[in-house]
Amino acid sequence: MKTNNLDLLILLVLVLFLVVVLSRLSKKSTEQFTSSQPYFDYLLTDGDKFYLYNARMLVSEGVNPLSFSTLEEVRGFEHQNNLQQLPVTDLVVKKVNDDPQENYERVCAKKIAPLNSEINACLAYTKDENQLDEMNLLFSSMNSVDRDIESCMMKTIVEENPELGRIDNEIKYMTQFY
């Protein structure tokens, strides 16, 4: 019976110790979020204004995010409130005109597609079989889409990269791959 009471006493002391430690830790963590010291995660800009944003708080006008006209105002606010200097994150994605938005194959296919569409329309609406055979013979010589797309792509690449040059309708250095 004695060991049973001793075990209960040790268990009770251990539980009491855990309750005290956990309550102190929770008070410290809540003090961190409820303190009057401002805390911000991000410094954002839309090109015109700068915003200090706290991702842990709800968005409310005038409180989160804080709005500033210039970067100097933000740095002054950070210094005045002893905040760490945050890196600026630009929310506006700037387009680089040199960066191709479409690949060469797509651009060239758009150039060739209207002619092929007209050919297909002529073939679809032709009622006379003799005329259909004639058109098929005529269009079969014209309907070399893959070759046309590849030629267009080669022409575009050489125009954009004149250092590649041309040798008899072939791009220099391409012969090493054949």
Side-chain-facing half-sphere of 173: CA atoms under 13 Å:
7
Residue 1 has pLDDT above 50, yes or no: no
What are the CA-CA distances from residue 6 to residues 3, 10, 12 (Å)? Answer: 5, 6, 10
Of residues 56 and 165, which shows the higher confidence score?
Answer: 56
- What's the pLDDT at 178? 45
Contact call for residues 104 and 157 (beta carbons, < 8 A)? yes
Of residues 97 and 92, which shows the higher confidence score?
Answer: 92
Residue 156 has pLDDT above 50, yes or no: yes
Contact call for residues 104 and 154 (beta carbons, < 8 A)? no
Segment among 80-84, 131-135, 166-170 with least mean pLDDT? 166-170
Q: At what angle do helices 129-142 and 104-125 cross, to 10 degrees?
A: 170
How far is Cα 52 from Cα 84, in angstroms, rounded to an integer? 12
User: Among residues 143, 141, 165, 146, which one has the least CA distance to residue 108?
Assistant: 146
Over residues 66-90, mean pLDDT? 89
- What's the pLDDT at 166? 60
pTM: 0.37
Tell me which H or E stretch contains 42: strand 42-45
- What's the pLDDT at 69? 92
Contact call for residues 68 and 50 (beta carbons, < 8 A)? yes
**Average pLDDT over the chain, rounded to an integer:** 75
Rg (CA), the chain: 36
How far is Cα 51 from Cα 67, in angstroms, rounded to an integer? 5
pLDDT tens-digit map of 103-126? 777 888 888 777 667 777 777 777
In 35-144, alpha helices (H): 71-80, 104-125, 129-142
- What's the pLDDT at 72? 92
pLDDT tens-digit map of 32-51? 455 566 788 888 888 889 99
